[in-house]
Copies of this chain bind each other. A is one copy, B any other.
Amino acid sequence: LIAIDWGTSSMRAFLLDKGGAVLEERRSACGILEAGGQFASALGTAIDGWDDPLIVMAGMIGSRQGWIEVPYVDCPAGPREIVTALHRVPPAEFDGRDLWIVPGLRAADPQGGCDVMRGEETQICGVIDELGLQRHTVCLPGTHSKRASVMVGRVEAFATAMTGEIFELLCVHSMLGRLMSPARDSDSDAFALGVTHAKRDGDLLHHLFAVRTLGLFDALSPEQLRSFLSGLLIGHELNDLPADSGTVHLIAAPALLSAYEVALRLRGHATRAHAEVAAAHGCYRLASLAGLHPQEPI
């Protein structure tokens, strides 16, 4: 099996053995925007030399801007509901191979409206069997962080926070970014101060200005401002996390994982880390459940 996590601005490809273990992983900046509609060609380049006949793809590749728009599956939904909506790409479009796209999930918002995810449902499927039957919270930090409530093997509800994108925008393009000096490492004191600051009265739009005032009066050095902002934004994301959420399961790359672990502990939450390779495990799990794996001779 080849598993692909194909997002807006990046792609990860995994070659798995018959038991689902990752044999090889490749990363590329060729997200669906970069691919410019030439998805077959971009996929061919990404998996060059891998000859497995079965390919399962998750992420924005199934969005309106992707290869084929695959309708969202409504929550509550787990692997069984997702598998019924796996979408097959006509084999003629890619080398005659067996190519599938995992649908995203849609969750109704209790206040009206809805939220959506594409890709994260597959990562959750990669860890869902480990969670048992109680209610669990799974956090998937990133450009658009997702926080999902999982029970009895299904995603019941989830919400998106644009934490990562806002952080990048502010560092690169804002007045606050101009006040920052590059720092080699994250500053743990400044990060913790930001996480705590986010609990104060007042809206994020007001709290952001503290990056300026704390810098102006030398409470923080220009090298610390980036870490403070990171803590402030992650803290705001976590303001929406109920106090009784229990152990929070994190799926993230190492640097982000560590930041969220610190922030969650500062807020009194226990955490459990899961490998970012959850995306590959999810594709494998879904393919197994769908009976897509070639049968082994007995």
User: Residues 170-195 of chain A: 1 if any B CB is under 8 Å from the residue's CB, otherwise 0?
Assistant: 10111100000000000000000000
CB distance from A194 to the nearest CB of B (A): 12
Counted per complex, copies of this chain come to 2
Which one of A11-19, A129-137, A235-243 contacts B? Answer: A235-243
Within A192-223, which residues are at the interface with B (CB < 8 Å)? 200-206, 208-210, 212-214, 216-217, 219
Q: Which residues of B have CB within 8 Å of A173?
A: 169, 172-173
Contact B236 A116 (CB under 8 A): no
**Is A115 part of the contact surface with B, judged by Cβ < 8 Å?**
yes
Contact A209 B161 (CB under 8 A): yes
Nearest B-chain residue to A107, judged by Cβ: B213
Cα–Cα distance between A219 and B112 once the two chains are bound (Å): 11
Q: How large is the interface on A (under 10, 10 to 19, 20 to 34, 35 or more residues)?
A: 35 or more
CB distance from A152 to the nearest CB of B (A): 25
Nearest B-chain residue to A143, judged by Cβ: B175
Q: Which residues of B have CB within 8 Å of A205?
A: 145, 161-163, 166, 204, 233, 236-237
Cα–Cα distance between A82 and B243 once the two chains are bound (Å): 46
* A114-B213, A163-B205, A203-B240 given; 15 more Cβ-contact pairs under 8 Å: A111-B201, A113-B213, A113-B214, A114-B217, A115-B209, A116-B213, A160-B206, A161-B206, A162-B206, A162-B208, A169-B169, A201-B240, A203-B236, A205-B236, A206-B237
Nearest B-chain residue to A167, judged by Cβ: B205
**Is A8 part of the contact surface with B, judged by Cβ < 8 Å?**
yes
- A residues contacting B by CB (< 8 A) are 8, 64, 111, 113-116, 144-145, 159-163, 165-166, 169-170, 172-175, 200-206, 208-210, 212-214, 216-217, 219, 233, 236-237, 239-240
Contact A204 B204 (CB under 8 A): yes
Pairs A–B under 8 Å by Cβ, sample size 17: A8-B175, A64-B216, A111-B200, A113-B219, A115-B209, A116-B212, A145-B205, A162-B209, A163-B205, A165-B174, A166-B208, A169-B169, A201-B240, A202-B240, A203-B204, A205-B236, A206-B237
CB distance from A109 to the nearest CB of B (A): 8
